[in-house]
Structure 1
Amino acid sequence: MNTDEFKLREVSRRQFLGRSAQQMVGVGVVGLTASTATAKSGSWASDRVRVGVIGIRNQGKILAGELAKQSDVEIRSLCDIDDSQFAPAVHAVVEAGRPAPAIERDFRRLLDDPAIDAVVVATPDHWHAAMTILACQAGKDVYLESPSTHFVAEGPLMIHAASQAGRVVQVGLQQRSGSHFRSAVDFLRSGRLGSVRLAKAWIVHRRRTIGRKSECETPLQVDYSQWLGSAPARDFNPNRFHFNWRWFWDYGGGELAHWGVHMLDVARWGLGVESPTRISAVGGQYAFDDDQETPDTLSVQYAFEKKTILWEHRLWSSHGIEGRSSGVSFHGELGTLVVDRGGWKVYDHSENITADASDLLTTHLRQFIDCIKSRQTPAASLQVGQLASTMCHLGNISYRVGREITFDSARQDCGSDQAANQLLRGTLQAGVV
């Protein structure tokens, strides 16, 4: 499938914003140009970056609080569809010594606010593409939580939108800003492990079952229609809402997209590869008998040119791989390097080499702010985010169709495998001419 096949309807931003939330995801706009945005050059009238945060539960609240600690950042607005989330997020900003931000239910008000320079998108995955495209159109730079996409086909559209509007987009793959992750990759590139052809990435921990719950009335404080966006209409179910939405295909990609996107990005980065050509996944719902759709046990093998990445997750066990609950191992001719958020170490090597943990999130956010001012490309660019997210989606697609799939990165499709191609496109096709 060529990128040209995903050209978008010529709809003005104002027309687009006037549509209902049900229509918004999966629809984009062609002709995004810098003229539609209040694009800033490298010079700033003010040193302060004014930020709006969309989606303030869990990670969004953390990001708001961390950004508020930066002396040159003002958290101007917080946005969520659930009124119960505002107080904790406002408190996180105030606790950082900053004024209480405004609160909004409709993210479009943040995009229309000329005083906002950048937005954080920390919503469920199925909203990432639409909000990022719209924010770029509106002249806002974007910090986008990972995975950057919900479907593979969204990636080229988001990259096109950001490029045409001249926007900075930093994806929340904070390992890219960690000095110990960078030093691990530098060590791999130095040749001191010899040829490195295999990487393994994993997450092993005990999650609780989510049980089974019935549909019920939507809580009064929740704008459920806007939360659904273009996802299939259905009655409210608390098991498909806060946090647990990630275990349902309509909104997320399970543990592979939740944690896998971080570890697979490191594996891909360290091996120096981009997109796999063959993907084979096996697994299932082995431990939990509940409402979730995504697998609690999964193994995926990604084949590249003379290199391989293996993924594994187990959500019912506490005995990790290489003594770590999550991490990445690189296997070379002269030894093995294992890295996680706690540092890295080389095994079976003539040298005793280790590195301690480094700061990730604060450094990552600082780089985003600095790139807004300099207009430089951040470490976890939208292109980097797309490649990492695509690996997760391809693993899930192989699992869902029940067979090995092939992927053509130039065409962005799985050849003649129509079932796999449909899952690549997802609901995006609703907005394609």
Structure 2
Amino acid sequence: MLVIKKDASTLGKIQATVNQCDRCGSCLTVCPVYNVTHRETAVARGKIATVRAMIEGGLASDSRIAEAFEFCLLCKACIENCPSKVKTDEAMIEARQYIAETLGRRVKHRLITAFLGNSTLIGMAAKTLKISRKTGINGLLRSVVPLENTKCYFREMASGPASLVPHQERTRPKMPHPGKIAYFQGCAMKMFFPAASQATVKLLNTTADVITTESVCCGIPHLTHGRTDYALALAKKNIEALANVDQIITDCASCSSSLKEYGHRLAADPLWAERAGEFCQKVMGLSEYLYEVGYQPNRKNNLKITYHDPCHLVRGQGIKKQPRELLKQVAEYVEMPQSDQCCGGAGTFYLDFPETAKNILTQKIKNIESTDADIVVTECPVCLMQLAKGEHKNTHFKAMHISQVLVDE
């Protein structure tokens, strides 16, 4: 049985959320995980029912329940389709926190969150990966990775499409922005897609003088793996580091979503609530910002493109029109079916549940191929790594970050 005191302090916080669910099943039709597994514990209704049983004391936490809570993309598709707008993603974050406190955290997740909380280690990893790309060591390492799922992941990690683009020099702003602009480079962009980051900086430099700051991880990996305390500590560091800028731009959908939620996460902290609220108002995603300032990319002939909506961008922030309007100026644009359906990447989901992620990706690849596009564009590094796997399945499309498509060559 669960300890009631622990319930009241942790799971009890989402009692109201749990009570909102009337078990109608609207979530079944839109859940990517349920669509490929048909497991009740995979869908929001089943997960909420599990949390309810735990709160009421009729169900004790164990490894199976821990897996059920992790078996969620946090894609928010269920919330969008829910008549009651039950925030299942928030419930799962709290549930994972509870499981981590009662059963302990998985070694893999402890290592990941510890690594991403250390800027020095991230910098070292980025430099190591850069050297491996230049020397060709990455090819040797990939050849000895034993498991195919891991091999696919390592392939994109060590030599993603971003490594093919040369360094871009800084240019003077063509359309000066009146304020101080900071580029927030997320961990994944820094390590795996450095040239996409360089393209982002070049784009931003056409609109403003961009400054760099000593920011840290946005905290979303920690939040989703039961380390809320660590996530909030990172949030406070970023608020301090970026206090003197007028605008914060990031090219990672997960980062912009996480940064915009600092006000919500720190609302109960009297020392940080106001600062966090002000911070959120300064954050913008790359396409969101470029569209607002009226950036006009050059046309690229004989190119057909389509767009994959990152979950954290389209549902997390409501950004849908902006990237499309920008891309339509660049080349022939074709809308893919179910463009906002999750690709199966979702942070570490595709590492924790590779077979399920693979099946979700299969449907996404079919949708991409139906457009006959040369390039599928997105604004999320994890989506990029997941979509790039399609390049190795006898497909004809290439996955690219939106910054690389918009930047002038």
What is the TM-score of this pair, normalised by structure 1? 0.27
Relative to total residues, which structure has the larger helix share, 1 or 2?
2
Higher RCO (CA < 8 A, seq sep 6+) = 1
